Homo-oligomer: A and B are copies of this chain.
Amino acid sequence: MITTFKKIMDAQTQNKSMLCVGLDTDMNKIPEFLKGSQNGMLEFNKTIIDKTYDVVCAYKLNFAFYEQYGIEGMEVIRSTIQHIPSDIPIIADCKREDIGNTSISYARACFDYFKCDAITVSPYMGKDSIQPFFNYSNKLVLVLALTSNPGSSDFQRLIADGKPVYRHVIEKTSTWAARENLGYVVGATHPQDLSEIREDVPDRLLLIPGIGAQGGSIEETLKANGNGPAVINVSRGIIYASHQEDFAAKARDQAISYNRSLNR
């Protein structure tokens, strides 16, 4: 049984890439000739995957973009996942949480039904809301710690016992599972905090979104992250690199260019 953690590390070595492409596919933002249909959305994803699978270490699907289209969107998630080569790990970015009895069902949805390798979860509801995901001992749970958005300052940065809530989240949750099963989401928009987080959890895998459209800098992020295992996500900056027929070729160019910066 290969763990998701190892699968990510292997893909990073094989493709010389820390880059995760975020398939945040919106039916209304894809090129005109694919717009407005479920098939177009799927075609868009498949073409992006065909052109980038050898330069990424993972794909991340943000479920929200698909859920807005209901059942049709769910079908696109399923077919997209089937199209991803089996050695490239898939992160379900769905930020789920619920009481223990119910989280079990979310774990089944993500790991059994959609066959994803990792999931993002929110920590607000605490231990019993996250624990059911650890029953899948080869899978990886990525807990929201310090998110990339402006709202991250509202509650994640409240100071309790001399340190921000997000550091309590990291400190406490890191006792719940080994690094093979538990990593964190830390936004690239907070490089100073990222470097402090790295002191606390040097060997945990971090999923780092917020590069590109959200304003995070690659250079500062890499410096802050040091040598820790990390997956750097870029979504809009890659998948919407062009709105013409050449969108996938341009996405590949962008992915290679990001990769070059990440490997510098």
Contact = CB atoms under 8 A, between A and B. Distances in A.
5 tightest CB-CB pairs across the interface, nearest first?
A: A126-B151, A126-B154, A158-B160, A64-B105, A67-B109
A138 B76 CA distance: 30
Interface of A: 24, 26, 62, 64-65, 67-71, 73-75, 78, 95-100, 102-103, 105-106, 108-109, 112-114, 122-130, 144, 147-156, 158-161, 165, 168-169, 172, 214
Contact of A74 (B70, B103, B160): B70
Contacts of A108: 68
B126 A149 contact: yes
A68 B109 contact: yes
Contacts of A149: 99-100, 125-126, 128-129
20 contacts: A24-B102, A64-B96, A64-B105, A64-B106, A67-B105, A95-B97, A99-B148, A99-B149, A100-B149, A123-B155, A125-B147, A125-B149, A126-B150, A126-B156, A129-B149, A129-B151, A130-B151, A155-B169, A158-B160, A158-B168
Nearest to A24: B102
Number of copies: 2
Contacts of A165: 155, 158, 160, 165
A50 B24 CA distance: 39
Most buried by B among A24, A99, A112: A99
Nearest to A65: B105
B70 A155 contact: no
Contacts of A156: 124-126
A174 to B, nearest CB: 13
A47 to B, nearest CB: 22
